[in-house]
Amino acid sequence: MKFNILTLFPDMFSAVNTSMVGRAVKNGLIDFNVVNIRDFSTDKHKKTDDMPFGGGQGMLLMAQPLWGAMDSVGAQNKRVIYMSPRGKLMDQNLIEDLAQEEEIVILCGHYEGVDQRVLDYWNCEEVSIGDYVLTGGELASMVMIDAVARMIPGVLASREAAVDESVYSGLLEYPQYTQPRSFEGLDVPEVLLNGNHQLIHLWKLEQALRLTRARRPDLFQNFLSRRDELTRPERKVLDKVISEGSEDEQGK
Ligand code: ADE
């Protein structure tokens, strides 16, 4: 998959050449084309921003350099994402949808925004990574790229499943432990050590359900509609968690 990134700060993208995404680039699974918007300014001072018509705070990215940058990556025929706090909220569904594309264009804004004509003409999909405002779209785009990259076949090591099709999908992850069994007087839960896979599975499910109910009641509610997919013992666990009072402090 190829990511065309339009930015005023190309140096920031050295971060995506490390770790698992970096390995995917080396293996030819992912390709980055980082384009400096400033290179396309026809202004003699390479200006890229100006004041908004009608007044208002801050500066806007101008249409002219963005037009050139969009043209240079063939954005006409590609899905174009504009990272923006006013966009639709990014979630795993959007990520998995984007991972189906062979090539996308990501526009990273800075200043107070971009000339609306760019967004309209180039059919930009506005995407936000959360209800907070960053100084620019670069970090947001890297969050998106990282999440999309791990959905591309071959990017994760085979034992790390990208799509969790198990009963746990849609739930927050249960607590996990590794060696040693006892550390500073803190013991790993006994059930995980006894080798009874059914008991271990039901314990993990219970923990995941409790955490999800406490921290993400919206996800817990969605999970309830999958009750029919559960085995009898799994349903018993779900009923137990539902019947527990909400006074326990799992959400901490
Ligand atoms: N640019 C600034 N804030 C952002 C956000 N929350 N999501 C995406 N892009 C942004």
CATH of the structural domain 2-161, one choice from 3.40.1280.10, 3.40.50.2300, 3.40.630.10, 2.60.40.1120: 3.40.1280.10
Give the CA-trace dihedral at 112, 18, 152, 102, to 10 degrees.
60
83 CB within 6 A, ligand 1: yes
The predicted-structure confidence for 146-167, as pLDDT tens digits, reads as follows 999 999 999 988 656 667 767 8
Q: What is the pTM of this model?
A: 0.89
pLDDT per residue over 186-224, tens digit each? 999 999 999 999 999 999 999 999 999 999 999 999 999
Q: Note the maximum CA span of the chain.
A: 73
C-beta of 134 in contact with ligand 1 (< 6 A): yes
- pLDDT tens sequence across 67-108: 999 999 999 999 999 999 999 999 999 999 999 999 999 999
Q: Are 48 and 41 in contact (CB under 8 A)?
A: yes
Q: What is the pLDDT of residue 166?
A: 76
Architecture in CATH for domain 182-251: Orthogonal Bundle (1.10)
Residue having the nearest C-alpha atom to atom 10 of ligand 1: 84
Is any atom of ligand 1 closer than 6 Å to the C-beta of 140?
yes
Q: What is the mean pLDDT of residues 32-57?
A: 97
Site to probe by mutation for ligand 1, drawn from 5, 81, 84, 138 as the one with most ligand atoms within 8 Å of Cβ, is 84
Whose alpha carbon is nearest atom 2 of ligand 1?
Answer: 134
Instruction: Give the position of tokens 């770790």.
Output: 19
3-class DSSP state of 106: strand
65 lines ligand 1 (CB under 6 A): no
pLDDT at site 76: 97
Q: Where are the domains of the chain?
A: 2-161, 182-251
Q: What is the atom index within ligand 1 of the atom nearest the CA of 109?
A: 1
